[in-house]
Amino acid sequence: MKEQAFVSIVHKHDNEEARAEAYRLRDWLEKKEIKATVEQMESVSSFDHEIQCPVPEHKPDWAVVLGGDGTLLGAARRIGRFGVPILGVNLGGLGFLTGIPLSRLYPSVEMMLEGKLDREPRIMLQARVIREGKEVCCFHVLNDVVVNKRTLARIIDLKVSINGTFLTTFRADGLIISTPTGSTAYNLSAGGPILYPTMETFILTPICPFTLTNRPLLVPESSTITIELGKKAEGTAILTFDGQVGFNFYYGDMVKIFKSDERIVLLKPPDYNFFEVLRTKLMWGGTPYDDKSQ
């Protein structure tokens, strides 16, 4: 007997449009004799809450996310990292990850069920915090790991090494370690470069550096990035994972960041084009036929 297909529907926190659409989609799928569940994704989660989320007992065949990129990031950590392909439907704002407009929801889901969507794997980062010789934090992210200052008016010193070789001490408001997927998020706002999302490399982008020669740096995906606070007087900083989960980072702590063994798979229609999305989302002007010489 063929096992019943299973779709997990995740919708944006506290958004009535997304909630209503999620239940309409569930009913539509169940009429096709496809099992479907609906879950609300919280906008912000504590570290303790995140690590208590177990491997799904019954792993869905697909996940459909209704919301913005923040909703998809939460779903990626919750179920996507266990190999569940994700179809992102944009009900949010900018939406680089949720590439399907709501008007194309049902045709896209039909294609998903028929296996006609392209699968686009994305690398993730893993962060491990070592405190007094013991690991106290292990976290996987799709977008970025950020070290931020806590004190309003003070910069922090961040000692950074790559594969055990000392790189520099960044004096800055913080440091972003981003995947190519996250290059269009906080990294972009901080002046970092945009990378094609399926590339396998990482970006180190200082936030408001004190030294103007500190610039964003691309490193190979095989790199291990080690960060320590440079001065005890600075007190505590905070590690932020995907902009949604925080963890205190103290003087004497060490965070090691490297490529995760886990990957996210995003589902895209065959006509999806990253450069067209980029041009539209960033409101770049011009047309392919501009010719100023005539």
Q: State the catalytic residues.
A: 69
Distance spanning both ends of the chain, measured CA to CA:
68
Q: In angstroms, rounded to a whole number, what is the distance separating the alpha carbons of residues 145 and 256?
A: 11
Residues 253-279 as b/e (b if ≥16 CB within 10 A, e otherwise) read bbbbbbbbebebbbbbbeeeebeeeee
| Beta-strand relationship, 100-101 and 86-90 | parallel
Sign of the torsion angle spanned by Cα atoms 92, 248, 51, 218: positive
Report the amino acid identity of residue 165: T
- 174 CB neighbour count, 10 Å cutoff: 23
Half-sphere exposure of 214 (CA within 13 A, CB side): 23
Looking at residue 230, what DSSP letter applies?
Answer: S
Q: In angstroms, rounded to a whole number, what is the distance separating the alpha carbons of residues 165 and 169?
A: 12
| Phi, psi torsion values for 283, nearest 5 degrees | 55, 45
How far apart, in Å, are the Cα atoms of 107 and each of 80, 199, 260, 269? 22, 29, 33, 10
Sign of the torsion angle spanned by Cα atoms 194, 279, 143, 169: positive
Q: In angstroms, rounded to a whole number, what is the distance separating the alpha carbons of residues 54 and 132?
A: 27
Chain centroid, CA 258 distance in Å: 15
